[in-house]
Amino acid sequence: MTDRHASAHWEGDGKSGKGTITTQSGVLDNNPYGFNTRFENEPGTNPEELIAAAHASCFTMALAFQLQAAGLKAESLDTKSVVTLVKDGDGFKVTKSALTLNARIPGIDKAKFDELTYNAKTGCPISKLLTAEITLQATLA
């Protein structure tokens, strides 16, 4: 089992408050996020962008392993994920992650390509996470 972690810090209310995100690896280190980065395209990141990055990279790596198991090797796999956030009553919800793949894989036929991309889409851990149980342990200081 592998555990990875990230943390978020927030100060202020929802619209005018500001936060930072830090990841275990340090790739993100107190990177800003807030209403403006989420809904108004200001510099910084947002949860949906991070989910999109995680899903695109996870799917692409899963496909590379599917290809390897089939005795194939990609020249290139370029995946984009578009995560859709919509209004949901008084809040919002993510309704989908749309993956788009452009691949160059010598020696693969369409049927095998369809099989392996399907397996990668349904088998990558982030695809599974998007329908996973969510737990919460909360304490009030």
pLDDT tens figures, 83-108: 999 999 999 999 999 999 999 999 99
SS3 assignment, position 21: strand
Residue type (1 letter), 138:
A
SS3 assignment, position 79: strand
Nearest C-alpha neighbor of 6 from the set 19, 14, 79, 17 = 19
120: pLDDT strictly greater than 90: yes
Q: Which residues contact 54 (CB under 8 A, 6 or more apart)?
A: 126
Sole residue written with tokens 């990279």? 57
Q: Which residues contact 125 (CB under 8 A, 6 or more apart)?
A: 58, 62
Q: What are phi and psi of 139, to 5 degrees?
A: -130, 150
For the whole prediction, is pTM greater than 0.75? Answer: yes
Q: How far apart (Å, rounded) are the C-alpha atoms in residues 80 and 68?
A: 21
pLDDT tens figures, 48-96: 999 999 999 999 999 999 999 999 999 999 999 999 999 999 999 999 9
Q: How far apart (Å, rounded) are the C-alpha atoms in residues 21 and 31?
A: 5
